[in-house]
Structure 1
Amino acid sequence: MDSEIPDHIPPAEVAQAAEKGLKLRSQYRRGGTMVGVARARDLKNRKSISEKTVRRMVSYFSRHKADKRAENFGDDDNPSTGYIAWLLWGGDAGQKWAEEHKKAIEKAKNEAKMRRFTQSH
């Protein structure tokens, strides 16, 4: 693996948001799907996240950004289902990390392609 490709370990703030999402889901018995719960467990445990999963995270946040306008989004005492789901995917920190990580992966891949191209010509 190229040294420019970042490691796939989510940062602590992403893990904390996912853990909070799991706690709120357990407490209020709503929010997120089984896929979201599985994602939250991986993020909470700071497991290495595959490139495919990083892309899924970017896609999730893109599709669900309207959830942030819902009533009780961000309310820990009476959270909206969308807020809980958002946290399961790492919250705002997860969104930022996934988008930056996807860009870094693509940049590293393009640089590797250019190196192979220049070496072969």
Structure 2
Amino acid sequence: MSGNKPPQSVADAANKGLELRRTFNRGGTSVGVARARDLKNRRNLSDDTVKRMKSYFARHKVDKRAKNWGDEDNPSAGYIAWLLWGGDEGRDWVDGLQID
């Protein structure tokens, strides 16, 4: 296990995703919730987990086109899920890591 500790901004985005999911009862899967908990608690992530995060963001960037993306009063399920994985901060963080 390498030292892939999520920055505070990623932890904050994941926590926001968890809060929105509780409030609106939608968004994300059990895997996304587990990822959010790891990010929120700033647990060191394995290289494989970082690769899965990169893959998630690559697959789901199209979700940003959805209605209610970023709407705090009525967020789309995709927006909540994106936050569970660390949001834009998480995407930028994993994109900057050198993982083979």
TM-score of the aligned structures, taking structure 2 as reference length: 0.96
How much does 1:105 deviate? 3.0
The amino acid that maps onto 2:68 is N
Q: Is the 8 A contact 2:51 2:99 kept in 1?
A: no
Aligned residue in 1 for 2:50: 54
Q: Summarize deviations over 1:32-61 as a string: whole Å, max 9, x none.
A: 000000000000000001100000000000
Aligned residue in 1 for 2:99: 105
TM-score of the aligned structures, taking structure 1 as reference length: 0.80
Mapped partners of 1:41, 1:8: distance in 2: 15
Identity of aligned residues (%): 64
Higher helix share: 1
What is the CA RMSD across the aligned residues, in angstroms?
1.3
Higher RCO (C-alpha 8 Å, min separation 6): 2
Aligned residue in 2 for 1:64: 60
Q: Summarize deviations over 1:56-90 as a string: whole Å, max 9, x none.
A: 00000000000001011011110000000000000
Number of aligned positions between the proteins: 100
Structure 2 residues without counterparts, runs of 5 or longer: none
